Amino acid sequence: MVRHFSHYVAIDWSGAKGSHHKSIAMAIADAEGGPPVLVERARGWSRQELLDVLRDDLPRESFVGVDLGISLPFMDCGAFFPGHPESPRDAESLWALIEEVCWADEHLSAGSFVSHPKLGEYFHHGERRGAHFGCDGAAHKNGRLRVTEHAQAANGLRPTSNFKLVGASQVGKSSLTGMRVLHALRGKLSVWPVDPLPRSGPVIAEIYTSIASLAAGRTAARAKVKTRVELDDALVALGSPPLGGAGPIDDHSSDALLTAAWMRSNAQRPELWAPAGMTREIAKTEGWTFGVT
């Protein structure tokens, strides 16, 4: 099944400490056309503000893409936390566990999960590489990957394990904070592919903003767009009108703008909603990245 949406919302997420973040960006592309629009806040967005928008203020037929991992690796070891007696059975239960552990963490952060005496042993955080950073205690330099992340690599992308919370390319902190948001949105939005694509209502999915850059003709090494001229060239390559203007633009904003335009141009492709490597078990446990085939 393929859906028609009225609005395409792309969010570049952040798991950084603190309340408001210039590194969070949101852009919206209208299905009727025109260039995507950046939705800004003077102080930068907070995660709570974005949660409020997603829960209460979205147009009903919105497709939302958030640049974070919606789950952790499961299929490689048969569990999120192999050997842990209370390891969740699926992504929805994982989100609930993260919220249970982190409910008192301010600003929808997830530090308590990583510092948990048992669960923290599955992560590489700071100088601490947990005893279970890998399957059965095996040493994994870069951490475990989900099936969709192996597919990302095959598509020319550069995935990083959500269990690895160090280095400039890490996305694990963003993913853990994002899972708190997904838990809070249960019953309000469908989360694809954990939830099957509904016939109506808002849908949220994991995205990887570099997919839009590659589709616009850029390389993985040059995925980040940092000038408005480059941004307009990339938007036109994606079939979108340009924004116009000159000068620099931060890559969080350009990532969101390009991805909103890409989502509008590609959401009607049936194969993106039914990738060959995704089974129902994978969808329920690990999820998938929209746009990865």
DSSP string, 117-186: TTGGGGSEETTEE-TTSSGGG---SS----HHHHHHHHTT-----TTB--STT--HHHHHHHHHHHHHTT
pLDDT average, residue stretch 198-219: 94
Lowest mean pLDDT among 128-132, 135-139, 152-156, 254-258: 135-139
pLDDT average, residue stretch 137-164: 84
Backbone angles phi, psi at 235, to 5 degrees: -60, -45
Does position 136 have pLDDT exceeding 70, yes or no? no
Does position 139 have pLDDT exceeding 70, yes or no? no
Any bridge partners for residue 161, and if so which? none
Closest CA to 230 of 249, 210, 253: 249
CA pair distance 105, 240, nearest whole angstrom: 40
In this structure, which long-range contacts are made by residues 109-112, counting pairs with CB atoms below 8 Å and at least 24 apart in sequence?
109/15, 109/17, 109/177, 110/15, 110/173, 110/176, 110/177, 110/179, 110/180, 111/17
Give the per-residue pLDDT at 66: 97
CA pair distance 121, 166, nearest whole angstrom: 15
pLDDT average, residue stretch 218-236: 91
Does position 198 have pLDDT exceeding 60, yes or no? yes
Does position 277 have pLDDT exceeding 90, yes or no? yes
CA pair distance 144, 146, nearest whole angstrom: 7
Assign 169 a pLDDT band (cuts: 50, 70, 90): low
Per-residue pLDDT of 245-269, as tens digits, reads 889 999 999 999 999 999 999 999 9
Per-residue pLDDT of 57-114, as tens digits, reads 999 999 999 999 999 999 999 999 999 999 999 999 999 999 999 999 999 999 999 9
Does position 200 have pLDDT exceeding 80, yes or no? yes
CA pair distance 52, 185, nearest whole angstrom: 9
Lowest mean pLDDT among 29-43, 161-175, 213-227: 161-175
